[in-house]
Amino acid sequence: MPVKTEVKQLVAAKTGNEAMAEAMRQIDPDVVAAYPITPATEIAQIFSSFVADGQVNTEMVTVESEHSALSACVGSAAAGARAMTATAAQGLMLMAEIMPIAAALRLPIVMPEVNRAISGPINIHCDHSDTMFCRDAGWIQIFSENTQEAYDNVLQAVRIAEHAKVRLPALVTTDGFIISHAMETIKILPDDEAKAFIGAYKANYSVLDAAHPITVGSIDLQNYYFEHRLPMINALKEAKAVIKQVGREFGEKYGRPYDLLEKYRMDDAETAIVCLGSTAGTAKDVVDALRDEGQKAGLLKIRVFRPFPVEDIAAVLAGLKAVAVLDRSDSLNGYGGPVFTEVCSALFNSIQKPKIVNYIYGLGGRDIDLHMLKSVYDRLASIKDGQDLGTIVDYLGARK
């Protein structure tokens, strides 16, 4: 058998924003259009220095708003360019009108997005209300637990979005300030490896191809609108297998495998927390401590929220006794947070389903710590063999 050659990677201290900008430098997109917004401003700011220093061949477009930034990316991508942007919070809200258009036109735009609370009141700190607000825009959504994942996920997102079976835009999130401005030691691929991994981009079409004229963005009424939405819907379904394939290949090449989910000490778990983003890292420490005490606790991290990994989640959680789903956003009088409702739907037809409760936490950047997470596991331990669940949807860490 041939001996696998280990790829030598650069070890560097980077913030989440720096890591995402570094990934963008290696991608060297044709066009980046961006408008500043805290805490995502640094991504485009750092990338603009790469442009100014001649380290990339990118056309950097500074625009008057986030709406214009995504619009410029849509126009560029429709012309055949590899296009990227970055934003957060209200900036994502301003892009919301254009996001489903990018998806419907099957344009593989990749956008680093730094999770931040949306107004009001005005807040610049982390929760997931911005990303969840746009969860049904037809974009792939990949969440990052830490700076290493932020870097890795941006590279993988390009491969996933541009795959022939997908051709959809992708959003890669990091938690505002917790990851975006916190420095960690990460491994960075050599430039040639990163470029080889993502590959050259070949657009499906170009509005500038005069020899093959097409119509893009036309009106589409009752006769065919329904049928023209189905390819986008089916592409999201196809994306699950592609995301797994790309994550597996990344792991084989560079030692960090990825999937739709990450299971942590779940093989014999009786109780588990389900969460997204940076909270997973804190929860792992709590799980380790509880395991030392003899509790069969586990963690399920959802890495990919769109397309939602229904079958995978149902398979992992079906045999457990009690589960708590943690939401860093509120659905504002829906029954529980958005992750909770999705997980409940995934388990609806399971013959063996766990008792399941929901905690809304961390709104506006409110800290979540080891003690709070332990209290969730303690509650799961108390309800796993009983009948009374108590309050199904609760608010963790809020003064009452």
Q: Please give the mean pLDDT across all residues of the chain.
A: 96
Q: Is the pLDDT of residue 4 over 60?
A: no
Over the stretch 197-220, which tens digit does the pLDDT of each residue have?
A: 999 999 999 999 999 999 998 999
Contacts of 113 (CB under 8 A, 6+ apart): 40, 86, 87, 88, 92, 130, 131, 171, 172, 173, 174
**Same-fold call for 10-254 versus 261-396:** yes
Q: Strands, DSSP E only, in 165-254? A: 170-175, 183-188
Over residues 156-166, the mean pLDDT reads 98
Q: Which CATH architecture has domain 261-396?
A: 3-Layer(aba) Sandwich (3.40)
Q: At what angle do helices 147-162 and 225-254 cross, to 10 degrees?
A: 130
Give the residue carrying structure tokens 């911005």.
130
- pLDDT tens figures, 228-239: 999 999 999 999
Question: What phi and psi values does residue 112 have, to the nearest 5 degrees?
Answer: -65, 130
Burial class (CB in 10 A: 0-12, 13-18, 19+), 212: exposed
pLDDT digits (tens, 9 = 90+) for 98-139: 999 999 999 999 999 999 999 999 999 999 999 999 999 999
Start-to-end Cα distance in the chain: 63
Question: Can you tell me the mean pLDDT for 42-51?
Answer: 98
Say what the pLDDT of residue 388 is: 84
Burial call 154-166: b when 16+ CB within 10 Å, e when fewer: bbbbbbbbbbeeb
Tokens (6 digits) for 366: 């409110």
Query: Two tokens at 66?
Result: 């986030």
What would the CATH number be for the domain defined by 10-254? 3.40.50.970
CA 343/CA 169 separation, integer angstroms? 24
Q: What φ, ψ does residue 296 adopt, rounded to 5°?
A: -90, 70
Which two structure tokens, joined as six digits, stand for 61?
């477009």
Please give the backbone phi and psi of residue 292, each rounded to the nearest 5 degrees, phi first: -65, -25
- What pLDDT does residue 5 have? 58
CA torsion angle 364 91 59 146 (round to 10): 20
Query: What percent of the chain lies above the pLDDT cut of 90?
Result: 96
Report the distance separating Cα 54 and Cα 220, nearest Å. Answer: 43
* Parallel, antiparallel or unpaired: strands 140-143 and 304-306: antiparallel
Q: Where are the domains of the chain?
A: 10-254, 261-396
CB-CB contact of 165 with 242 (8 Å):
yes
The model's pLDDT over 220-268, given as tens digits with 9 standing for 90+, comes to: 999 999 999 999 999 999 999 999 999 999 999 999 999 999 999 999 9
